Amino acid sequence: MNLISAIDKFSSYLLDEKNYSRHTLLNYVRDLNDLYSFIARKIEDRGAKIELKYIDELTLKDFIASFILNSEQKYSKRTISRKISTLKSFYKFLNRKKLYNANPARNLIFPKLPKNLPTVVDETALVNLLDLEYFSKDVWGLRDRAIIELLYCTGIRLNELVNLSIDNFDERNMVIKVSGKGRKERIIPIGIPAVGAVLAYLEKRDKYFEEKGTDCDMSVIFNAKNGKKLYPALVNRIAEKYISKVSEIKKKSPHVLRHSFATHMLNHGADIRAVKDLLGHASLSTTQIYTHVSVERLKEVYNKAHPKADSAKHK
């Protein structure tokens, strides 16, 4: 099998079976296309049908080294780590589907990454945002409020929010059903404020599009002004707009609200395994980073408040 055919099969697998987002899929494909370009340059044949059997461990190591040693563009360790992860996932897929037997990516070593803690919005700031009159009373203000409420109340991913259907919103039992990574479904409880915010928006939405005479996709909960399903870039702008009203953190995104949900849950004594299930994490180690966030916040408070926290101040 040649490399291009293998990349096509892998991308179809990520899209159809793993249900990966368009953004994640593009990153995987871009990394593998970079590998193709790297090998094509080496053999001086841009249109070559590069066979997998000619790609060995040394080739992959040289490929990764080309990013580490690139003097024109400095690639971060996180970017290089992602490329290695792509290669490992690619060959595991080929092996599992019995498309190719060898795995030259098996021994590639990830660079040691700095531990960057998730960005979190202060709990009081978020409560104030949702309690005070930051949202307009028209259909779009009600929509934005419902989005922020739902993201913070449930910790769902951006892709899960935009694809949330009416059928999977159960206001009677106060739960939603979402399809996460790998098409894994999970049931998530939602609070009374979020239920109320969604219902208020839906009532106004139906009237708005009926009066306007515009077609509206009524199968989903959240719509853009043209009536179509909400798209990720718009949700990002909405999150940035409202988080900016109450916080000066640099990163303001739907994922920050997911981080905030997990951190605030653990701060209030939630069991980490329950939080793992709510977030849809495959591994408990992924969820454990939020315990570090809580510890770091405690250290910060301690160092600011306790008279003996910093001995240098008392010398």
Q: Is-catalytic flag, 264?
A: no
Cα-flanking dihedrals φ and ψ of residue 169, to 5°?
Answer: -110, 110
Catalytic hit among 157, 205, 264, 276: 157
Catalytic hit among 82, 181, 186, 225: 181
Residue 220's DSSP bridge partners are: 165
Q: Is-catalytic flag, 237?
A: no
CA angle 149, 140, 152 (to 5 degrees): 10
**SS3 for 177?**
strand
Catalytic hit among 18, 82, 186, 255: 255
How is residue 81 written in tokens? 């780590």
Q: Is-catalytic flag, 250?
A: no
278 Rama sector, left if φ>0, alpha if ψ -120 to 50, beta otherwise: alpha
The residue count of the chain comes to 315
Q: Is-catalytic flag, 290?
A: yes
Return d(Cα 278, Cα 272) in angstroms, integer. 10
Return d(Cα 22, Cα 157) in angstroms, integer. 14
Catalytic hit among 258, 259, 264, 276: 258
Cα-flanking dihedrals φ and ψ of residue 21, to 5°?
Answer: -70, 160
Mutual angle of helices 22-42 and 77-96, in 10-degree steps: 90
Return d(Cα 183, Cα 158) in angstroms, integer. 15
First to last CA, the chain: 70
Q: Which residues are catalytic?
A: 157, 181, 255, 258, 281, 290
